[in-house]
Amino acid sequence: MKPRLGVLTSGGDCPGLNAVLRGVALAAEKLNFEVLGFLDGFEGLLPPGNFMVLDRRSTSGIMPRGGTIIGTTNRGHFVAKVGAGDRAVVAENAIEDAKRILQEHRVEALIIVGGDGSMTTALQLQEKGINCIGVPKTIDNDLEATAMTFGFDSAVAAVTDALDRLHTTATSHKRVMVLEVMGRHAGWIALHGGLAGGAHIVLIPEIPFDYDKITEALRTRETKGSIYSLVVVAEGACPRDGQAVMHKIAEGENRFGGIGSVVAAEITARSGKETRCTVLGHLQRGGAPTTLDRILGTRFGVQAVKLASERQFGSMVSYQNYQVRHVPIVDAVNRLRLVPPDSQMVQTARDVEISFGD
């Protein structure tokens, strides 16, 4: 019988996940592995085991599709919502159940595709004797151990498209348009999307802003003859000496979101300008992946299979200097890659008259 690999996708969905699965399936076939795709994230590891076979046939034509054909979740027995830098502890019985299911189905190694929380869970499984290979996934692009994650480019493309559309309506009505985008702790999406989409003000978590500075930037544009302005704000951005805007959802959990409406209201109150807010939300996660994300996802999937075949367990795929390499999972978790306020990218934005409200 052929040796088997398992793969699962965990946490938020994003474009490029199916490219990873296709890469895993085709690379595994070449190395004489069978692949079981466990459904709905880590929950598929619970008895009796919920999976589908991933092979050439089942992954044919999936690369252009957004989301993941094997499902995902950011809830359940293995995944806990925790703050940045915190560690989610998985119950011992859940790990033992997963270990038993993997043994029963002859799975030699588990490829886990997910973000920082999923990598934290992967590390705990590895410590308990389950052979794990990590594949980093987050549209926020905020994992320090890799220079880029798939899904980010597609998210930026969605922001850019939204700004292209907002330019026309903002011009027609001579309004200020505020676009709230994802980015809880890191402002990469807002920065790249704002630069590509011609925004005039970009607010990110790494650079606390001042409402008076925002008003000043809008007035400066007006004196130069501009009749409208576009503001991009990351959901985790907050004013100097203030806090990020959160809202409560089920079970008392706090979630980022709402800063766009607050910024829009402050702009109207301070400047008298008619202002509207658009929240892009999950549109950033959906749709077909860009060319870059299809390629990067494929490369990540292939590299994960190679690491498993070489028994480099406890490793995470990493993209550095245009090469797909790997790092220890233990060195990758709880290390966020934030936007350096003095980075060349920020300076480039400033040089084309983008204000950061500081």
Catalytic residue among 13, 40, 116, 140: 140
Q: How many CA atoms lie within 13 A of 310 on its CB side?
A: 11
Cβ atoms 156, 41 nearer than 8 A = no
Cα separation values, 199 from 157, 219, 338, 351, Å: 14, 15, 20, 13
Which tokens belong to 286? 């959906």
Helices 116-127 and 92-104: crossing angle in degrees, nearest 10, is 80
Radius of gyration of the chain from its Cα atoms, rounded to whole angstroms = 22
Reported as type and span, the H/E element at residue 136 is strand 132-136
- Decide if 140 is catalytic: yes
Reported as type and span, the H/E element at residue 348 is helix 344-351
Using CA atoms in the order 86, 88, 89, 91, what is the torsion angle rounded to 10 degrees?
160
CA gap 49, 45 in Å, rounded? 5
- Residues 6 or more apart in contact with residue 305 via CB below 8 angstroms: 5, 23, 24, 27, 28, 31, 33, 111
Which tokens belong to 208? 């606390």
Determine the distance from the C-alpha atom of residue 56 to the mean position of all C-alpha atoms in its chain, rounded to a whole number: 27
CA gap 185, 84 in Å, rounded? 8
Burial of 130 (0-12, 13-18, 19+ CB in 10 A): buried
Which residues are marked as active site?
Answer: 140
